[in-house]
Amino acid sequence: MLELRDISYRYPGDEYDTADGLSFSVKRGSFNCILGVSGCGKSTVFRLINGLLRPQKGAIFIDGKDASTLKMRCGYMPQKDMLFPWRSVGDNVMLPLEVNKALKNCSKTKRRELACKALKDVGLEDCYNKMPDELSGGMRQRAAFARTMLTGNELLLLDEPFSALDFLTRISMQEWLLEQWEKHHKTILFITHDVDEALFLSSGIFVVEETPIKSLKEIIVPAGRPRSRQILDKPEIIELKNELINILRRQQKV
Ligand SMILES: Nc1ncnc2c1ncn2[C@@H]1O[C@H](COP(=O)(O)OP(=O)(O)O)[C@@H](O)[C@H]1O
Ligand SMILES: [Mg+2]
């Protein structure tokens, strides 16, 4: 579904690369996390995949096509929900339908209908006419997810979507996201710096071991699906958790 081939990127004015010859690939329908300490370049990798940044070297392929030739590459959900405060929740969710030129013939009624359905899918059917500041943190993230789904892309990039939520809301949202993934069969790449979150959600974890990012260490999580949080108590998962914490602590700059 996604392949990065020998990607290098340096921000203008920087003296070192953020990514240096990075290659990795992701299978269709999978749920993988990228795990790394703050500032290691995780969000930069997402911005390269979604086209907000252009790599100085290398190529990215989505579904076998050179991503630089694609108009709509993937759904992208940044860390902040970015809901426009002056638009209702429903009007926020329908935004991808307004900006997608391929859908310019989609009537306002049809757009409303699709936004309603997307909100219903995330359990927010009563929130169409509410304003974003009337929603809780978890509801805002669900609305942002519904908007990402309406881009219609197979590949979803989710950048620390739950990191600002309190602990209990965060674990409910993780369970909710796995249900959504199982229902919609999307390919999800999820950034986190939280080891438990990576272990609970993913089939495979791509760990950032060094900066500049030259490669990612891929670790398969030894747990099936559907899964519950109890997998986190299994001895082999606890062992893996300690291994991951040790890798991250080696790079942490205090
Ligand atoms: N727009 C930018 N211009 C210059 N440097 C940036 C910019 N955005 C991020 N960086 C730098 O790139 C590095 C990686 O940032 P980022 O990809 O946001 O890391 P992460 O998401 O892992 O926390 C950091 O050192 C950061 O300071
Ligand atoms: Mg980031």
With a 6 Å cutoff on the Cβ, whether 36 touches ligand 1 is yes
pLDDT at 254: 64
Lowest mean pLDDT among 102-116, 137-151, 186-200: 102-116
| The pTM of the whole model exceeds 0.85 | yes
Residue 147 pLDDT > 70 = yes
CA of 206 to the centre of ligand 2 (A): 15
With a 6 Å cutoff on the Cβ, whether 78 touches ligand 1 is no
The CATH T-level fold of domain 2-74+155-251 is Rossmann fold (3.40.50)
With a 6 Å cutoff on the Cβ, whether 192 touches ligand 1 is no
Mean pLDDT of 130-159: 92
Confidence of residue 228 (pLDDT cuts 50, 70, 90): very high
* Structural contact between residues 57 and 6, judged by C-beta atoms closer than 8 angstroms: yes
Instruction: Choose which residue among 44, 54, 252 to substitute to test ligand 1 binding: the one with the highest number of ligand atoms within 8 A of its C-beta.
Output: 44
Confidence of residue 252 (pLDDT cuts 50, 70, 90): confident
Residue 175 pLDDT > 80 = yes
Q: Looking at ligand 1, which atom is closest to the CA of residue 46?
A: 17
What is the residue-averaged pLDDT of the chain?
93
CA-to-CA distance for 26 and 187, rounded, in angstroms?
Answer: 8
CA of 45 to the centre of ligand 2 (A): 9
Phi and psi at residue 61, to the nearest 5°: -120, 130
pLDDT at 79: 85
Residue 124 pLDDT > 80 = yes
Cβ neighbour number for residue 185 with a 10 Å cutoff: 9
* Structural contact between residues 49 and 2, judged by C-beta atoms closer than 8 angstroms: yes
Sequence spans of domains, the chain: 2-74+155-251, 86-152
pLDDT at 201: 97
Ligand number, closest to the Cα atom of 18: 1
Q: Which residue has the higher pLDDT, 185 or 21?
A: 21
pLDDT in tens, 14-35: 999 999 999 999 999 999 999 9
CA of 49 to the centre of ligand 1 (A): 15
Confidence of residue 159 (pLDDT cuts 50, 70, 90): very high
Residue 162 token pair: 């739950």
Q: Looking at ligand 1, which atom is closest to the CA of residue 40?
A: 22
pLDDT at 158: 96
Residue 169 pLDDT > 90 = no
**Whole-Å CA distances, 155 to 1, 143, 152, 186, 197:** 8, 18, 9, 6, 20
